[in-house]
Amino acid sequence: MTTIRDPLWNNIRVDPIARQLIDAPAFQRLRYVRQLGLAHLVYPGATHSRFEHALGAYHLAKRTLHTLREAGALAGVSPDEPAIVAAAALLHDLGHYPFSHALEEIGVAHHEEVARALISEGEVASILDTAYGEGTPARVMALIRGESASPLQGLISGSLDLDKIDYLKRDAFMCGVPYGEIDEDRLIHAIVLLADPTTGRRVTGVRAKALSALESLLFAKYQMYRNVYWHHAVRSATAMYKRLVEDALRSGRLKAAALVRYTDEGLLHALDAPPASPILDGIRSRRLYKRAFETPAALLEGIDLEWLATDRDRVRAAEEALAKHAGLKAGELLLDYPAKTQMLSLDLPVLMRDESVVRLTAAGMAGAIDLPVLSEKLYHSARWLRVFTAARVTMERETVLAALA
């Protein structure tokens, strides 16, 4: 076993197969892809990488599997399944683009789909096939995409996946904010394998005694979105970066298929070609676009703006119309409305004290956890529509909404 020191979990013990996967070039690239994209421009400590997070997810997977094994809960599970689940935890972010999730908002393939080629072909696939048998890469991908029939699927993709525990705690710790406090020990020791009350299949669930810890995880997620992930300056830098890359893709200077090969700085270097880009200079020197207009989603009820996260041609047309109205050049005004995410979603079985099994869903659980009652309000208070401009101007609500209509 190899021991790696980690600022969050202290010692992470890595088995020989995981060590081979870590040494593969596709995994080593993650050292140079920041976990939080451009958030370090707001929180200077947020320079941690996808590499560290992947190790943390692997650590939590091994820790949870050990706890389940000690409790006898892995009886009936295929003997090689725990090792494959740990590998999936380690490799789940292999397909991330430079600066994290931002580029998925301009229409390039999702990072989980990009990971398919990296896991199914080349060195990583060879290691997995040699260690666990032919067909292992496909089993790992099924876990990552939430499509596996394994009873341990929920540890990799679901309401209580271990990835979520690591990134919330790690991101809060590295940003220096108090929002990621999660009782992960309580949650890990409460994880059980049980029969789904709807399908009868054996799946990952949680004991009722951990519902308060689960509630704290969901609130931590909301607070991190509100204060870190969707912070106005982080979103300004992200909007600038998206426009910079999108322009390069549209002009042919960059190919979408090549994006996953870059590191953060490698991509910025590739974009640094004549003619000079004021957006790139702004990102590098932290001269970010300013807020010309902003409003929370709570004040946009009844207005369909979901296309802002998907229809880039329509977004650019609206940006150009608003820029012209404000006397700005094309590219000097950017719209931002974060892609809709199920921030407080829940869907997992709960083992009650009387040994009955109840499914906890978005409808909540009377008398136990009623977050769904608050979730939409919390979500709409964290998600904001913003107009960012290179020069400091002010725009009226009516003007912005008319352009978007």
Domains of the chain: total: 1
Give mean pLDDT, residues 355-381: 72
State which residues form the domain around 176: 2-213
140: in domain: yes
Give the confidence band of 139 by pLDDT, cuts at 50, 70, 90: very high
189: in domain: yes
380: in domain: no
- Count the neighbouring beta carbons within 10 Å of the beta carbon of residue 357: 16
User: Residue type at 87?
Assistant: A
324: in domain: no
Structure tokens at 285: 């020197």
Note whether 337 and 309 are within 8 A (CB): yes
80: in domain: yes
73: in domain: yes
Task: Please tell me the pTM assigned to this model.
Answer: 0.94
Domain CATH for 175? 1.10.3210.10
Indicate the pairing of strand 202-207 with strand 348-351. parallel
Mean pLDDT for all residues in the chain: 92
pLDDT digits (tens, 9 = 90+) for 219-275: 888 899 999 999 999 999 999 999 999 999 999 999 998 999 999 999 999 999 888
Q: What is the pLDDT of residue 344?
A: 66
> 382 versus 140: which is more confidently predicted?
140
Note whether 111 and 96 are within 8 A (CB): yes
10: in domain: yes
Q: Name the helix (H) or strand (E) containing 348.
A: strand 348-351
Cβ-based neighbours of 2, under 8 Å, separated by 6 or more = 13, 14, 16, 19
39: in domain: yes
Task: Give the length of the chain.
Answer: 405
